[in-house]
Each structure stands twice: as C-alpha cells, then as structure tokens.
Structure 1
Amino acid sequence: MALLLQYTLIYASVLLLVALGGCFSERSGIINLGLEGIMVAGALGGALVMKYMPNLSPAAMVIGVVIGSVVFGMVFSLLLAVAAINFNADQTLVGTAMNMLATAAATVFVKAINMAENPNNVASTIQYIDQKKAFSIVKIAGFEINWFMIITIVLLILANVVLYHTRLGLRLMACGEHPQAADSVGINVYKMRYIGVLISGFLGGLGGIVYITAGVSEWKFENGVAGFGFLALAVMIFGQWKPNLIALAALLFGLFRALSNVYSGFDFLVSLNIPGTFYKMLPYIISLLVLAVSSKKSRAPKAEGIPYDKGQR
C-alpha cells in the first residue's frame, strides 16, 4: 500500500506539473500539444546535469537538475511560441511536430555523446544511479518523500496565486478569452502569450525530469515519456483549466498509472487473472472515457488556438 501511495503521488506530480503548464499556455490562447516533446527536452536537460555534475552536494544537485530541466523545457517551448505567435502557424501541427522532433533529437544527441566517450557504446541511455539519492528527503514505513513532491505542491499554490490574484494572471486569462478587448486596454497580447508558453515550458520540462527519475536509475531516451504529455492534456481538460481541479484529476490518473507498477502486490487484483498490460493501458483507457463523458461540458478558453490578429475587432 505504501508503494502504491508513493507511485501515485509521483505520477500525480508529473501529471499535475505538465497539466498546469498546458493550462497556462491555453489560458493565454495557445494550444500546447507539444507537452510530450517539452517533457523529453526537460528530462534531457536534467539528466545531463546528473551525468556531468555527479559530485554536487544533495542541495546543489536538486537545484542544478531543476534548473537544467526547466531551461531545456523553456527553450524547446520557444519553437511553439515563435511558430504560433509570430508566424500564425497551426498550433496543432506545430505541437505534433515538436513531439516527434524531441524524442528523435534526444535519442541522436545522447547516442552521440555516448559514442564520443566510448565508440562501442551506441545506447541512447543516461545513468544517474547515485545522483537520484539527492532527491529523497525521508523514507517512512516504506514510503519515500522526495523533493519533487514538495516542489509540485509549492508550484500548485503559486499557480493559484498567479492566475487568480496577480495582474499577470488576470491579463494572461484575458488574452485567452478576449484578446481584442485585452489589447484595447493596453495589454500586449503577444507578450502575454509568450509568457504563457514559456511557463508551460518551465512546468513541462520539470515534469519530464520527475517522470524519468520516478522509478528507475537510467533512462533510454528513444522510449520518450510514454504518452504522459497527452495524459496531462486529459488531466487539464478534466480539471477544466483550473489548478485545484487539475490537482484532483492528476491524483485520479496517477492512481490508475501507479496500479501498473504495483498490481502484482495485491492478491485480489492478481486473482482476477487480468494481464499486466491491461493495467498499463488503464490510464489511457480512463482518459478516453473521461474525455468522452466530459467533453460536452468543457469550457475551454474562448480564444485558444486562434491566431491573434491585431487588426481584427
């Protein structure tokens, strides 16, 4: 049970961070289907910090990995910002291309650095066995609390404060609802949308490093992040673009994902004789069902996905 709780909170943290990133982007008016790619980019940035700075103190390791992942995530998210905001490109196509690019580019990059160190090593894997210990805070009765869980809670609180209690958040949401009206009162819509996309890169990149360090001590980048970016989109929609509801949805989806890791430890689940692959499919099946049921009641930002035309009124 402790292991189920631990995995649930870890996967919920990943989904919450990435879904909040999508929320900020869409609240500004930009659909971010590239969250999967941003996660891969962030995971690569954090993994490289662990690979090349293995002797950092625990505190410095946590800070360094967080910085590496969010910087890579934000830089990669600029592809969406430039294409969608400056060139009015189709946001769905750009996001899809980003997802395909990220995994391929990360795989080639990691293989290249491994071969530079050892010509016989063509793996797309980065190991961080000892470095992972820096993320653990305390272990109680088999349940481990790590820094990423704490950071996620802090960022959830900040997301609520920023969106609903600051000028930045209110302006951001105005640009996703009525950009022409926002522009008429002096709000720079382009700037707000850039900020929204960069925040999504920040949170999505962080979610990527949390995902790859969840239960393993190395990561093969050609595996990507197993559709977690799309799961996060389902969490965001189910949570109606509201941080607190997104957090509850993330816990629900995190529980279903955690079952695939620990179902063999529950006799009543084993007795059902259901193949283990079913539990791995379960969160994706649930996401389809949830979206099918809740899609009619969803209230997305009115201007999301619509390129802003300054001359239109």
Structure 2
Amino acid sequence: MTDRNPSAAPATVPTAQRKRRVPGWARGVLWAIGVVAVLSTASYLTGVNTLTSTNTAQTALRLALPILLAGLGGLWSERAGVVNIGLEGMMILGTWGAAWGAFHGGVWAGLGAAILFGALGGLLHAIATVTFNVNHIVSGVAINLLGLGVAKYLSTLIFEPLSGNPRQSPPVPTFDTYSATFLSDWLSGLEAQQRVGVSDAAGLIDGLVSKVSPLALIAILLVPVSYLVLWKTRFGLRLRSCGENPVAAESLGVNVYRYKYFGVLISGGLAGMGGASLVLLAGGGGYLENQTNGRGYIGLAAMIFGNWRPGGLLGGAALFGYADGLRLSGGGKAVLALLYGAVLLLAVIVIVQLVRRQWFAAALGLAGAAVLYWIYWANDDLPSDLIPYTAHFVTLIVLAVASQRLRPPKADGAPYHRGEGD
C-alpha cells in the first residue's frame, strides 16, 4: 500500500497552465497605446500633424464602418462554416436598398431596407452553398456579379426617372451627428497646444467623440455583442460548432443546416448595413454605382487579420479605415509620414525579435524597415495615381504579416451533407 505524505509537494503544474494570459481587452488597450505612441513620434519627427488630427480620426471612423460591418458579416458566416466571398455583392445590394428606403421613409427605413436587401443576398448564398453544396467561392463570386447587376437594373428602373441618371439615386437624408461637447472642447484645447504625445492622443480621441452618428455607435456596439453571442451563449456555441466539426455537432442534436442558414443570413444583413453606412452617413447622401469600391473584400481581409475574432477584426478595420482616411485628409505627404511611422514600428519589432533570438524574423523586419525608409527618403510626395490605393496596399502588407498566425474554423468552406456521421 502506497504511503501518502500530506507534506509532499504537489505535482508540478505545467508552465503553460501556470502562466496567466493577458485579457483580450488589455491587449487591445496596450496596442492602442503603442499605436498612438508610434503615430505621435512619427508626427513629431516628420512635422506632419495630420497623422493625429481630429479630422483624420473623424474621416477614419467614417471609412472604417463599412469595413467593420462587412468583416463582422464574414465572421458570422465563416464561424458557421460558410466562406462568404459574396460580401461585396451584399454590400452593393445594401447601398441600393438604403437609398431606396431612405428616399421613401427616412434614414431608419433606409437602414432597415439595407439590412433586408443584404440578407436576401445572404439567403441566395446559403441556398447555393448549404442546400445544394455549390462551391463557396463560386457562389460568392456569383453573388458579387448578381448584386452588381441587380443594383444596376433597379437603379435604371427606379432611380433614373427620379434623378435623370441611371447610375445614382436622388439625394436622400443622412443620419444626424452628435458630439460630447464639453469633452470635445477640452480635447480640442489640448490638441491646439501642440504638446508631443498629449496633443496627439487628444486629437485622435476628439475625432472619436465628435460628430458621431447613431449608426457608428450601433456598428461599434455590434463588436462586443457579436463576441458575447458567439462565445458566451448556447446559440453561439452551436453555430461555431457547425464551423469546427459539423458531423460532431449533428451527433449532439444540432440542426447544422439551420445554424448555417442563420450565420449566412446574419452575415448578409451586416454586409447590407455596411452598404448603408456609405449612403446614410455624412459624405454619402445617396446611391452611386460602384460605391463600395472593393470594401467587401477589404472587410474580408480585416476579418482574416483579426483571426476570425471580433476584437482583432475591429483593429483591422481601424487600420484600413485610418489608412484610407489619412490619404483623404493629408494626401501623399501624410501617407509618406505614415511609412515613417511603419519604420519606427518595425524597428521595435526587430528589437523584440532579437531579444527572442529569432534571427530570421529580425532580418526580415530590418529589410522591410530599410525598404520603407528608402521610399520615405527618396520621395517628397507620392504620385497622385498611387494615393487612392493606400488602403489596398495596407491590406496586402497586413495579410502577409498576419498569415503566420491564422487559425480559421476547421470546417470553414468544407462541404457538408446531413447524416454523414451515421
């Protein structure tokens, strides 16, 4: 019989179990502080105040919203196991629906119509991929083409008699904006003092609390709501199980088809909301052909950058929206200053990699920093033809960096037939 010694040391707990993980919200705060520090330093060293101005932050928020909503749509669909390349087409349907609804019933009717039209696009994608097992990529491309064609046909049929132009709608109402007046005035005063760090943070925060629309608040609120529903409820657990292992989910009594339909319908509705943000926010005011300009694809890239999680997706959408907003508010010189900021960030990453003795990664980061610095040093301004594609370049660079740590749902895009586990 084995002796039990009460004073004996307990079994060693593995290091991975003893180590406490930093909460996601804390990592997000640390990243935000780091980004503000890099932008502040770049703004000071280059003399380009646009990097952290209130106007840049306001523009970035407005441009990040359609990307954020499209990315959330992709998140819901792919967590259910359905790849949704058709986000662009659903957004296009949402832009037309938003203009049509707002013209006849005001901004809230426009938002509802946009959600409905986007969800109809999602329904078509679900019927093709879930019911008939059409390849998800093929179906998504078809939805994109169909959305473009349907919006063009409806615009010619309904909007041309009203506006005289088949490519755009008549002007429609947009959402009012609101500001936290006392806080905004205080932050504006700090920004005007031009104090390194303090004024930069004040300018960025001021842009996020002034001239904010209800749709912006709804979109940002949908990020924690999506997390809570998908990760903290029975509905979300079942939906995610369909994207990880649908056969096992079916064996536990989950109606896999139903949850996949839910995921894709919600995805389409969110993409439609993204289209509505292009029409119903300040600077929109109506439907315009090719209004989405590839934002559905950038939303998909933001979702991948965020590793199929809402918090990371928010960071990706903010990055792409900021890059696009910066080129609008500051032009080529501001984009060059952003490259300088990227050099500073890469320098920090190289130091971290050297401390970790990851020599190859450090060498790659050093080479990338050298190339970006050469571009900054060799140019006084970027060619005007390249500036509109700033967000697209950022998309490619970010996806190249993020590709090393991706963890998509295991059954994402895989065909599923009811009864496979029998």
TM (norm. structure 2) is 0.67
Counterpart of 1:272, as a letter, is D
Which structure has the higher relative contact order (CA within 8 Å, separation 6+)? 1
Which residue of 2 is the match for residue 298 of structure 1?
A: 406
Matched residues in 2 for 1:115 and 1:253: separation?
A: 34
| 1:308 to 2:416 alignment | yes
Matched residues in 2 for 1:306 and 1:65: separation?
A: 35
| 1:176 to 2:243 alignment | yes
The answer (yes or no) to whether the contact 1:240–1:246 under 8 Å persists in 2 is yes
Post-superposition shift, 1:219?
A: 4.3
Counterpart of 2:109, as a letter, is G
Structure 2 unaligned residues grouped into runs of 5+? 1-52, 189-206, 338-378
Post-superposition shift, 1:228?
A: 0.3
Which residue of 1 is the match for residue 327 of structure 2?
A: 260
Counterpart of 2:408, as a letter, is A
| 1:162 to 2:229 alignment | yes
Q: Secondary structure at the match of 2:225?
A: helix
The answer (yes or no) to whether the contact 1:14–1:211 under 8 Å persists in 2 is yes
- 1:235–1:268: structure 2 CA closer, same or farther, 3 Å change rule? closer
Aligned partner (choices 108, 124, 139) of residue 167 of structure 2: 124
Matched residue count: 302
Counterpart of 1:109, as a letter, is L
The CA deviation string for residues 42-82 of structure 1, in whole angstroms up to 9 with x for no partner, is: 111111112223xxxxxxx3432221111111112111000
Matched residues in 2 for 1:11 and 1:269: separation?
A: 20
Counterpart of 1:254, as a letter, is G
Which residue of 1 is the match for residue 104 of structure 2?
A: 52
- 1:117–1:274: structure 2 CA closer, same or farther, 3 Å change rule? closer
Which residue of 1 is the match for residue 363 of structure 2?
A: none
Matched residues in 1 for 2:400 and 2:231: separation?
A: 29
Q: What is the 5 A alignment of 1:260-279? A: 260-264=327-331, 272-279=380-387
Structure 1 unaligned residues grouped into runs of 5+? 54-60
Counterpart of 2:256, as a letter, is V
Aligned CA-pair RMSD:
2.2
- Which stretch has the larger CA shift, 248-257 or 265-274? 265-274
Q: Secondary structure at the match of 2:273?
A: helix
Matched residues in 1 for 2:333 and 2:103: separation?
A: 36
Q: Secondary structure at the match of 1:229?
A: helix
The answer (yes or no) to whether the contact 1:182–1:189 under 8 Å persists in 2 is yes
TM (norm. structure 1) is 0.89
Aligned partner (choices 22, 29, 45) of residue 74 of structure 2: 22
Which residue of 2 is the match for residue 33 of structure 1?
A: 85
Which residue of 1 is the match for residue 273 of structure 2?
A: 206
Post-superposition shift, 1:15?
A: 1.4
Which residue of 1 is the match for residue 35 of structure 2?
A: none
- 1:224–1:95: structure 2 CA closer, same or farther, 3 Å change rule? farther
Q: Secondary structure at the match of 2:82?
A: coil
Counterpart of 2:171, as a letter, is Y
